[in-house]
Structure 1
Amino acid sequence: MKDGMDLTPQEIVAYLDDYIIGQHEAKKTIAIALRNRWRRLQVSADIQEEITPKNILMIGSTGVGKTEIARRAAKVKGFPFIKVEASKYTEVGFVGRDVESMVRDLVATSIHLVENEEKEKNKEKIEELIVERIAKKLLPALPSGVSADKKQEYALSFAKIKDKVRSNALDQQKIEIELHKKHLEGDFNNMPPEIVKVQESLIKVFNKEGEKVTKEMTIKEAKEALRHDVSQAILDMEMVQREGLKRAAQSGVIFIDEIDKIAVGVKEGGRQDPSKEGVQRDLLPIIEGSTIHTKYGPISTDHILFIAAGAFHLSKPSDLIPELQGRFPLRAELESLSEESMYKILTQTKTSIIKQYQALLAVEDVDLVFEPEALRELAKLSYLANQNAEDIGARRLHTTIEKVLEDISFSASEYKGERFQITKEYVSQRLQNLVDNVDATRFIL
């Protein structure tokens, strides 16, 4: 596959088809929205400022692929992406998370993304410096004034030690290693800027810059422990933070799940829930475009793409305040999963749950095999369970498969080196009671 940024909408949809069954219209809408973010960055600066993202409202039952479509599409394009739940936020002045924290979370995710990219670019250099620091601990430097012969002999020995460290031959040997003391850290992203400044001042008082601590550990552990120190020494962290802030502002995607949970709706007795409307009103300026202060600097939300999603079983999109409805001009409705969709999820997705369980049991040398008819039965009974109780979409497959494989998972060690075949009859036997018994079906949500 070519670089994610170069993918066309058709290629993004084709990629999503490997992981999510159906929902073509929703995939298409997301793919176009993400491609437009890339297109915008290619035009002249004066036009760039005028092109704002067209936010998307995804409507569909739980478990039909709303989050997965958005998450995987953003991931393949390399855009900073976070998922938040609307129901976790509270109106300003109430105890709980304020809506601005989602933007700070996006910035932190974006910076982490850029940092990982820079680490990957400098991977060989970082690994070589780690090896060198460990080798210096194993073979301390020669005192000054030694002869040229001694220096040459030392250089040869040092090279051999480095080779051994590099090849993991000394991984279990213990050494004392000096590491920078980690600063006290907290969840500053969710705090107002003025509180962050106070916290950072306290950190400077209690944690001196450059303070180190010596620890004893194996060389294998030391390699991992030194990675942070060496990366910080090599990478230009100011550049990383600047680029992360810029990328969050220009390419960031915030997925707001459960938006229907803050839809106002009229309660019994004709009353509305004012706190839900308060959260919507707090969301509005962020989605419309405003400047949020973070510990890394201010960020404008004008060009962040917002994707909201909800089942809207007990409310409808029109229950959202009109101003917020207007900020989500694109709608994508997702279909409920049919029995055939369930079967395709089991058999056609790239990392299907069947493949996952086969890989897990292969660890214990158990060859897990599903007969084709067994998979058909599993899809059928999972679909019926959704019809008889709450429809939780593809998530039902996780619970039904777990029930089918419960005994073999528990006693896997007894089947070591054997082939365990799952038949249609075995699936029926394990699941029929749950499908027939509505209360039991609800129990295995």
Structure 2
Amino acid sequence: MNEKDFPEEKMEDTAAGSSLAGNKKKEEDEYEKICYVCRRPENVTGPMVSMPGGMNLCHDCMQKAFDSVSQGGFDITKIQNMPYMNLNLSDLGSINKKDLEIPNKQRVKKRSEKEPGQELKRKDIPAPHVIRRKLDDYVIGQEQAKKVISVAVYNHYKRVYLTDSRKKDEEENVQIEKSNILMIGPTGSGKTYLVKTLARLLDVPLAIADATSLTEAGYIGDDIESVVSKLLTAADNDVDKAERGIIFIDEIDKIAKKKSTSSRDVSGESVQQELLKLLEGSTVEVPVGSNQKNALTPMTAVSTENILFICGGAFPDLEDIIKERLKEKSSIGFSAELKDRYEKDPNILSHVTNEDLRKFGMIPEFLGRLPITVTLESLDKDLLVRVLKEPKNAILKQYKRLLELDEVNLVFEDEALEWIAEEALKKKTGARALRAIIENFMLDIMYEVPKDPNIGSVVITRAYLDKNGGPLIQMRC
């Protein structure tokens, strides 16, 4: 019995082998080689030397190996950061190759050679009114904020376009600066949601970092470069794509300079100072597939020059600083401003200045790299009602869609929507309170309705929400 007796199995094995080889070849073309010792990609180290077992070594690590040999025998344990310290090269064939391979989530995709057709085109940049119109479909209110953000994003990507096409005004030699944004608004006003919607509409990677976890380098916590590492992960380890993305640093008010402390401020002013280089635009080496730097994590270089940074925070007690400054302008006379004019102003944050932010604890160098300040209004009852029903992915539309799958029509009375908005205002957490309230009273409905296939529609009334009655249920005809 030989191979000729099973020609079909032989052909299948050959096809499977060629398919695996093709996938391996495609993977090698898509991802960069990574040095097995120092874990740096090929775009940092230069061309590498391929070793048996699928290992790749950069010239620096190869030179260290040769130096070790010339100094009295080849001792692989002397090579810094070398995994498998007791590895015997003669036994390399018996080692499982999968143990030596670096997972794709820690590998960097090769940079694509930019051809004229691949560069960011001027017509691909949406105009401010187009961005604003798309934001209106998802974000209710905040008209001034949407207008400012639309213009800032439009100007930012025009700057990226000039960088990609290497077009410069030779006569005036104009250098366009970055238009990073500082968003100030109460909790639940839509800061994070606005940025998420913007990134989705522009189809660019987005990384959301929490400033409360950032500390100065060398202390327990996340390093500043970790925010860029998150963006690289969101871009599927594509450096070119990540360098055009958006980084949103939330809770930025938590890194304000401490007013009275005798210890080193490693999570306040020091973090602001280390963020300066990222906001300005620099090239940093970040870990791939991890937020922690160690000997087994590959590193790659990412330029932040074309990354749009948006910082947001609630800035509690900032209103008191603004009111104190405005009251100093009051005087005596017919044209004088009253001291209580701003006491009950719901949009007091719109009067904020850099002087107020410096008093709050933000250093001048940090504010200088966030030239655009956007203030968001607190949501009132009417806006909360609109948030419930008008956006494309409104909460009520989501529940209606869920019950439509059971062939049940869900209706909310206007008085019921007003009751929900009033309850949300009491919680003082903005739009975040809406879902929690709806989840509470929709639980029984979502549980009971699928039991009876004869139910045709459910009407949510204010009496049901006040626990003075039940929802109106209509059966099928």
Give the TM-score band, short-chain normalised. 0.5 to 0.7
Aligned to 1:247: 241
Aligned to 2:158: 39
Give, in angstroms, the shift of residue 337 of structure 1: 0.1
* Residue 56 of structure 2 is aligned to residue 62 of structure 1: no
- Mapped partners of 1:27, 1:336: distance in 2: 15
8 Å CA contact 1:263–1:276 kept in 2: the answer is: yes
Give, in angstroms, the shift of residue 248 of structure 1: 2.4
- Mapped partners of 2:176, 2:452: distance in 1: 60
- Of 372, 377, 383, the residue aligned with 2:414 is 372
SS at 1:358 equivalent: helix
TM-score, normalising length from structure 2? 0.56
8 Å CA contact 2:256–2:362 kept in 1: the answer is: yes
**For the pair shown, which has the larger CA radius of gyration, 1 or 2?**
2
Larger helix percent: 1
SS at 1:340 equivalent: helix
Aligned to 1:71: 196
- Mapped partners of 1:334, 1:430: distance in 2: 37
SS at 2:439 equivalent: helix
* Residue 220 of structure 2 is aligned to residue 95 of structure 1: yes
The superposition leaves residues 350-403 of structure 1 with CA deviations (integer Å, 9 ceiling, x where unpaired) of 1110111122233344432212222222223322x23xxxx2110110111112
The superposition leaves residues 110-129 of structure 1 with CA deviations (integer Å, 9 ceiling, x where unpaired) of 2x2xxxxxxxxxxxxxxxxx
Aligned to 2:314: 311
* Residue 466 of structure 2 is aligned to residue 424 of structure 1: no
Cα separation, partners in 2 of 1:245 and 1:21, compared to 1, 3 Å:
same
- Mapped partners of 2:410, 2:224: distance in 1: 46
- Mapped partners of 1:333, 1:401: distance in 2: 28
1:427 maps to a residue whose letter is L
- Mapped partners of 1:63, 1:342: distance in 2: 11
- Mapped partners of 1:344, 1:360: distance in 2: 20
Give, in angstroms, the shift of residue 344 of structure 1: 0.6
The superposition leaves residues 286-331 of structure 1 with CA deviations (integer Å, 9 ceiling, x where unpaired) of 2122211244732221222110000001456321122111111110
Cα separation, partners in 2 of 1:356 and 1:371, compared to 1, 3 Å:
same
- Of 423, 446, 452, the residue aligned with 1:409 is 446
Give, in angstroms, the shift of residue 334 of structure 1: 0.3
- Mapped partners of 2:159, 2:239: distance in 1: 18
Aligned to 1:334: 376
Give, in angstroms, the shift of residue 335 of structure 1: 0.2
Cα separation, partners in 2 of 1:55 and 1:349, compared to 1, 3 Å:
same
8 Å CA contact 2:215–2:266 kept in 1: the answer is: no
- Mapped partners of 1:17, 1:401: distance in 2: 23
- Mapped partners of 1:50, 1:273: distance in 2: 35
Of structures 1 and 2, the one with the larger relative CO (CA 8 A, separation 6+) is 1
Aligned to 2:249: 256
- Mapped partners of 1:353, 1:7: distance in 2: 28
Cα separation, partners in 2 of 1:81 and 1:22, compared to 1, 3 Å:
same
8 Å CA contact 1:367–1:417 kept in 2: the answer is: no
Root-mean-square deviation (CA, aligned residues, Å) is: 2.7
Cα separation, partners in 2 of 1:42 and 1:325, compared to 1, 3 Å:
closer
TM-score, normalising length from structure 1? 0.60
Q: 5+ unaligned residues in a row in structure 1: which ranges?
A: 113-240, 432-445
- Mapped partners of 2:207, 2:367: distance in 1: 21
Cα separation, partners in 2 of 1:410 and 1:42, compared to 1, 3 Å:
same
1:157-176 to 2 correspondences below 5 Å: none
Cα separation, partners in 2 of 1:82 and 1:331, compared to 1, 3 Å:
same
8 Å CA contact 1:371–1:423 kept in 2: the answer is: yes
SS at 2:209 equivalent: strand
8 Å CA contact 2:378–2:430 kept in 1: the answer is: yes
Aligned to 2:53: none
1:354 maps to a residue whose letter is L
- Mapped partners of 1:326, 1:6: distance in 2: 26
* Residue 135 of structure 2 is aligned to residue 16 of structure 1: yes
Farther off after superposition, 59-68 or 270-279: 270-279
- Of 347, 367, 379, the residue aligned with 1:325 is 367
Farther off after superposition, 98-107 or 367-376: 367-376
What is the aligned length?
A: 291
SS at 2:129 equivalent: helix
The superposition leaves residues 185-231 of structure 1 with CA deviations (integer Å, 9 ceiling, x where unpaired) of xxxxxxxxxxxxxxxxxxxxxxxxxxxxxxxxxxxxxxxxxxxxxxx
Cα separation, partners in 2 of 1:355 and 1:69, compared to 1, 3 Å:
same
SS at 1:287 equivalent: helix
- Of 69, 81, 86, the residue aligned with 2:211 is 86
* Residue 467 of structure 2 is aligned to residue 398 of structure 1: no
- Mapped partners of 1:343, 1:299: distance in 2: 43
- Mapped partners of 1:311, 1:4: distance in 2: 36
Cα separation, partners in 2 of 1:358 and 1:417, compared to 1, 3 Å:
farther
8 Å CA contact 2:219–2:266 kept in 1: the answer is: no
- Mapped partners of 2:265, 2:406: distance in 1: 53
Q: 5+ unaligned residues in a row in structure 2: which ranges?
A: 1-121, 287-297, 319-355, 470-477
1:207-226 to 2 correspondences below 5 Å: none
8 Å CA contact 1:264–1:272 kept in 2: the answer is: no
